[in-house]
Amino acid sequence: MLTSNLPKSPFFPTRYVPVPPSFHITCSVSQLQSAAEAVNGRVSERNEIRLGLPSKGRMAADTLDLLKDCQLSVKHVNPRQYVAQIPQLSGLEVWFQRPKDIVRKLLSGDLDLGIAGFDTVSEYGEGNEDLIIVHDALDYGDCRLSLAIPKYGIFENINSLTELAQMPQWTKEKPLRVATGFTYLGPKFMKDNGLNHVSFSTADGALEAAPAMGIADAILDLVSSGTTLKENNLKEIDGGVVLQSQAVLVASKKSLIQRKSALDTTHEILERLEAHLRAQGQFMVTANMRGNSAAEVAERVLSQPSLSGLQGPTISPVFCKHGGQIAADYYAIVICVPKKALYNSVQQLRAVGGSGVLVSPLTYIFDEETPRWHELLTKLGL
């Protein structure tokens, strides 16, 4: 086992030998310990599970809001402290870190799970196979890493990456100068796309000023709406997007293989996230409808294109008492519809005899098992 000489802490991480790419783990829980020993020589002595969350900015606020919506509120008693808890997840510690440090500490073994932007994971993970994306679409932090060039001068008629690469100006002695903070993804992207005469520089603050100041010919930076680029006379070009990014849940492969508690915690977090995200923008619509049988009502409901629900409408008898006799004169229909189709669905229900229509927003939709869980187990070889 390779370790550093610094003391073990979140700020002086112990470094471990990477998992061999060809290594495979069987699905037996009883074999997890021996599998971990084969990977790392021994099972980690740390008992608590550590989740890294962004410490500042919009990403931090949106992450806490998402966890709260999943009934996983972070209890942060002292905002000056970097450690917190999620009471619903026993044995879990929350560590507030810079996004790039979350990725670094996942690789060093000082964190087990983390939430960060996909761009950050890609840049600082550098393709390391020990990083596993558990959930790739947490639905916030949307942006793209994109190449931008000036609208004027020699670039006025350049509108694609191919055209940029074919410009005769770029030579070994006078390369295309790109200002960026992405010193791993930038060179890799350029090389993969045949731009060999490129030099990179890092700049503090807003990169958009670099071309106008003569510091760079182009910039490679994160773009959301593109408004800032336009205001600085810059433009994106076809083929110039390196990657699309949003917040993701990422984990250490070693941690999940070594420790069943880390895998179980990941499973619960994943299920809560999936159930909440799937329910976003979905509404439960309930209505009563006269009919002679459930099958007859189902036929009328399914004749309308917006009333099929997730797997089909739920139809059950509504019992009423008339003259001392109990009979099912009505049937209750329950369907799940997306927000954009809500009004049309209500109109269609009325058209086939529905009345007393009730509409409620959905908070969670739990599947029998989330597909992302099976994908994760496959990646782990379990």
Residue 278's pLDDT is 93
Residue 6's pLDDT is 41
Q: Where are the domains of the chain?
A: 49-141+247-260, 143-244, 282-361
Residue found under tokens 């979350």: 102
Domains 49-141+247-260 and 143-244 share a fold: yes
What number of other Cβ atoms are within 10 A of residue 14's Cβ? 17
Residue 10's pLDDT is 43
Asked if pLDDT for residue 79 goes beyond 90, the answer is no
Asked if pLDDT for residue 236 goes beyond 60, the answer is yes
Residue found under tokens 């593109």: 226
* Interacting residues of 259 by C-beta distance below 8 A, sequence separation 6+: 32, 36, 43, 44, 49, 112
CATH number of 282-361: 3.30.70.120
Residue 45's pLDDT is 66
pLDDT digits (tens, 9 = 90+) for 85-144: 999 999 999 999 999 999 999 999 999 999 999 999 999 999 999 999 999 999 999 999
Residue 204's pLDDT is 65
Name the CATH architecture for the domain at 49-141+247-260.
Answer: 3-Layer(aba) Sandwich (3.40)
The pTM (predicted TM-score) of the whole model is 0.81
Q: At the topology level of CATH, where does 143-244 sit?
A: D-Maltodextrin-Binding Protein; domain 2 (3.40.190)
pLDDT digits (tens, 9 = 90+) for 270-325: 999 999 999 999 999 999 999 889 999 999 999 988 888 888 899 999 888 877 78
Of all residues in the chain, the percent with pLDDT exceeding 90 is 77
Average pLDDT score over residue span 334-359: 93
Calpha distance 201→188 (Å, rounded): 15
